[in-house]
Amino acid sequence: MDVQSSNTWKTMDRKSIRQLAVAVFFLFATIGPLTLMMESSIIQSSWVRLAVMTLLSGLFSASIILYMTKPFRLLLSILAYVVIILTIAFTDPKILRPDVQSITVKPETPFSLSSDQLSDIQTKRTSFGLVAILCLTTGYTLFVRSIGKEYKRRTEIETEVKIAQSIHESLLPKTAVKTDWCEIAGISLPATEIGGDFYDIITLSETKILVVIADASGHGTGAGVLSAMTKSAIIQELQHTQSPAELLNNVNRTIYSVTEKNKFITCALALLDKTSLSATIVTAGHPQILVRSGNALEEYRTHHLALGIQANTLFSTQTISLHRGDMLYLITDGILEASNPKQEQFGMERLYSWIIESRHPSAEQHSTALIGVIRQFTVTKELKDDATIVVASIA
């Protein structure tokens, strides 16, 4: 089974798998009567033998469908089938013996059939054929119906996923922001079809730019919806305040009031100011903001809970003095937790080394290069968590 088929199998719900198993049961139950019809003498078969062989063929095939993702149970069903077949072959149970006196057909040996034997042959050949046709017809009908329902379900899911993907993509800036005093660029790499990370670069005025990065708990549609809600709340609150602390105070209350209590989103803000050449930062349960100045690298974080955990969390800010040539790095934990085949995480130490050694001329090249390093590190190109980075370069 290829990767795509395996993934398809894993995403089928139990009801769909059971319906498919019933269809496969009838399709492969056909093997029972067909096998008996191909024996040297159909008289050697019995109605009980027909029932047993039909049920065994169908049940064994259905068990493969039911236990495809459960190797231990699948192995047990195969062993049980082999044991039953061998037992029948070597013990010849009385209940499975012919209904009438059997005959042995040998080449060039004349034989005659009694009226009972002739009647039995005619009855069994017709009946076994009808059973085979009935099983095949029933199985094919159920199979087409099951696959049709699954195709419809998948089409609906794929449509919803595409809509969710487009919504998530709309949360991300289309291009980098370049001014005469700074350049800001980012990349978000989702681990699944729908990412839970987002970032934004919001120009508030000619001298102020707000950088936002966030990471919703979980994956998939739920995380994507929470990210969309958070960005919407931030945009709405910016109409009333540009203070990062007050902004998160209000957004947190909104997120807390409209989400489930086990859902939250981490967040980091950096308000860049050209006039004072500074960055006012605040983090809510989010990894630290890194600032490279020359060959020195400092980390900054305000210790607050993530958004949506407590209704009345009060956020405070920290102001950082910047210099021309400084670089700010905002990341999500998917960068740090990216794992290689040895299950070693990329980690903060590797990130520190890369930032200190990298000498890319622009923020956009910095963010692109780091994502490339993460892809190389993971080897398989698969991430366990969304990975997002935003780089701000002070000109």
Split at pLDDT 50, 70, 90, the class of 2 is very low
**Average pLDDT taken over every residue of the chain:** 85
pLDDT of residue 10: 59
User: What pLDDT digit, counting tens, does each position of 180-222 carry?
Assistant: 999 999 999 888 777 789 999 999 999 999 999 999 987 777 8
3-state SS class at 82: helix
Domain end: 165, 190, 212, which one? Answer: 165
Residues 293, 186 share a domain = yes
Q: What is the mean pLDDT of residues 275-287?
A: 97
Residue with tokens 């492969």: 28
Residue 224 shares a structural domain with residue 342: yes
The pLDDT score that the predictor gives to residue 374 is: 92
Same domain, 290 and 353: yes
CATH code of the domain covering residue 342: 3.60.40.10
- Please give the full DSSP string across 328-374, using - where no structure is assigned: EEEE-HHHHH-B-TT--B-HHHHHHHHHHH---SSHHHHHHHHHHHH
CB 201 within 8 Å of CB 186: yes
Q: How far is CA 61 from the centre of its chain?
A: 28
CB atoms within 10 A of CB 366: 27
Q: Where are the alpha helices (DSSP H) in the chain?
A: 3-11, 14-29, 31-37, 47-66, 71-91, 115-170, 220-237, 244-258, 333-337, 347-357, 363-378
> Angle 285-291-296 (CA atoms, 0-180°, nearest 5)?
130
187 and 285 in a common domain: yes
Q: Domain boundary at 140, 165, 190, which? A: 165
Range of the domain at 318: 172-394
Q: What pLDDT band is residue 35 in, cutting at 50, 70 and 90?
A: confident
Q: What is the pTM of this model?
A: 0.65
For 328-340, the pLDDT digits (tens) are 999 999 999 999 9
Residues 185, 159 within the same domain: no
Q: List the single range of 84-93, 103-112, 364-373, 380-389 with lowest mean pLDDT.
A: 103-112
Distance CA 16, CA 74 (A): 18
Between residues 38 and 298, the one the model is more confident about: 298
118 and 253 co-located in one domain: no
Q: Is 273 helix (H, G, I), strand (E, B) or coil?
A: strand
Q: How far apart are the first and last CA of the chain?
A: 54
Residues in CB range of 180: below 8 A, 6 or more apart: 395
Question: Considering the chain, what percentage of its residues have pLDDT values greater than 90?
Answer: 44
**Domain total in the chain:** 2
Do 323 and 366 fall within a single domain?
yes
Q: Give CA 43 to chain center in angstroms.
A: 55
- Alpha carbons within 13 angstroms on the beta-carbon side of residue 278 total 9
Same domain assignment for residues 23 and 125? yes
- Tens digits of residue pLDDT in 118-128: 776 777 778 88
Q: Are residues 235 and 369 in the same domain?
A: yes
Last residue of a domain, one of 165, 184, 202: 165
The angle, 0 to 180 degrees and rounded to 10, between the axes of the packed helices 47-66 and 115-170 is: 10
Burial class (CB in 10 A: 0-12, 13-18, 19+), 271: buried
Instruction: Indicate the pLDDT class of residue 274, thresholds 50, 70 and 90.
Output: very high
Does residue 1 carry a pLDDT above 70? no
Burial of 377 (0-12, 13-18, 19+ CB in 10 A): middle
For residue 16, give the amino acid letter: S
Using the predicted structure, report yes or no on whether residue 105 has a pLDDT greater than 60: no
Helix (H) or strand (E) holding 292: strand 289-293
| Shared-domain flag, residues 200 and 89 | no
Do 207 and 292 reside in the same domain of the chain?
Answer: yes
Q: Kindly list the strands in the beta sheet with 197-203, ordered across the sheet, starting from the edge strand earlier in the chain.
A: 197-203, 208-216, 265-273, 278-284, 318-321
Looking at the structure, do residues 176 and 139 belong to the same domain, yes or no? no
Band (pLDDT 50/70/90 cuts) for residue 5 is very low
